[in-house]
Amino acid sequence: MPSLPPQKRGGSRNIQSTIDSRKESQLTTDMSGTVRSAAFGALLVLVTTSAFAQSGPVAVEARTVTVERVVEEATAVGTLLSAESADISPEIAGRVGTIAFDEGMPVKEGQLLFQLDSSVYEAQLVEAKANHDLKIANFDRADGLLKNKVGTVRTRDEALSEKQVARALLTMAEVRLEKTKIVAPFDGIVGLRNVSRGDYVQPGEALVNLEKIDPIKVDFSIAERYLADVRNGAEIRITVDALADREFTGKVYAINPQIDPAGRSIALRATVPNPDGVLRPGLFARVGLQTAVRDDAIVTSEDAIVTQGGSTFVYRVIDGKAVQTPVAIGQRRYGTVEVLSGLSAGDIVVVAGQLKLRDGAEVTVTMMDDADEEPAPSGPSAS
């Protein structure tokens, strides 16, 4: 094999030398990056350790654990109904002569609403009265003749029967005349009338609606799983979109014994006092049904709860140190939370500054119990 010229052999050595130099440079660069990463990690550990090992206690805010009344409730949606509702209708035919109310105004039981033309019924009453008087006279005459032995028992009995029939006809005429006056069957508020003066109305024709709205009813349904918690007299609270800033309370008074097989729900009916009449039938309502009450529940601020890695805990302040304490929580409401285990009434818990704490850290506490804050509403919690 022929040997390479000296120039080519020298070129190969130069190429090899260049490759070796590049490898050394890359190795040096990798080693420098590793050193820098290690240095940065060490610095991070040092900073973190320094943060936890800082001198002096950690400033935190804290509150006292209290005992409060906690209410569990089932939520539902419902519809408001009148306590009593009726379509006012005539029982006899006639022409409307008088309308004795103003639409949308309250009326009392027995108050006149409509007066039908009574002239025909007054005439019928006069006729029935005259016939009744005649039958009384006929009976008296037949009875006298029988006593004087010149009449028969049959004649007297027929006269007695005719007198009784005449009395019934008179009563019927009196009732018909009375029914020309259409009155309110109960206290309530009349709606919008469907007739005007002079209209001829038939029996059963709806003239106006009458609604009694104090108290007002609310119909709603809850899931069958609450069956054991449902009882007559259970308290409810309702809100309606039309009055979003108000909450109303009432009590259950009727429970349907039949559970709906389609939705597996229990139908309930409650009454809610409505003295100012702001609640109206047909409104959509959000209902909270009280299912359980605990008068001595342990309650703390929701800000005290720390969740980490699936565990829930708080920091209690004991002898100037933060003590990490696992807790089990229950109902939440309006910025507070019920604590089922882990805390006792009177414990001091950290509500701000937990991120700077570790178990056993010394703390300087600012108590927030007397801070000027808006009080939380006292309504029940939602389940």
Q: What is the pLDDT of residue 244?
A: 86
Burial track 81-101 (b if 16+ CB lie within 10 A, e otherwise)? bbbebbebebebebebeebeb
Determine the Cα–Cα distance for residues 377 and 222; give it in Å rounded to an integer.
Answer: 25
- List the chain residues with pLDDT less than 50: 1-19, 21, 23-53, 372, 374-383
Give domain 74-83+213-293's CATH number out of 3.90.1150.10, 2.40.30.170, 3.30.565.10, 3.60.21.10: 2.40.30.170
The residues near 129 (Cβ < 8 Å, ≥ 6 apart) are 170, 173
Q: Would you identify the CATH topology of the domain 58-69+295-367? A: 2.40.420
Q: What is the pLDDT of residues 29-65, one digit of tens each?
A: 444 444 443 443 344 334 344 444 455 789 999 999 9
Residue ranges covered by each domain of the chain: 58-69+295-367, 74-83+213-293, 92-117+180-212, 118-178
Q: What is the pLDDT of residues 332-373, one digit of tens each?
A: 877 889 999 999 999 999 999 988 888 999 999 889 876 545
Displacement of CA 310 from its chain's centroid (Å): 33
Q: What is the pLDDT of residue 69?
A: 86
Q: What is the pLDDT of residue 55?
A: 55
Q: What is the pLDDT of residue 306?
A: 92
Give domain 118-178's CATH number out of 1.10.3080.10, 1.10.287.470, 2.60.40.3950, 3.30.70.20: 1.10.287.470
Q: What is the pLDDT of residue 150?
A: 86
Q: What is the pLDDT of residue 15?
A: 42
Give domain 92-117+180-212's CATH number out of 3.30.70.20, 3.30.360.10, 2.40.50.100, 3.40.50.2000: 2.40.50.100
Determine the Cα–Cα distance for residues 33 and 82; give it in Å rounded to an integer.
Answer: 81
- Tokens encoding 126: 């006069």
**Angle CA 180–185–191, to nearest 5:** 90
Q: What is the pLDDT of residue 43?
A: 40
Determine the Cα–Cα distance for residues 357 and 320; give it in Å rounded to an integer.
Answer: 13
Domain 58-69+295-367 identical in fold to domain 92-117+180-212: no
pTM score, two decimals?
0.64
Determine the Cα–Cα distance for residues 56 and 53; give it in Å rounded to an integer.
Answer: 9
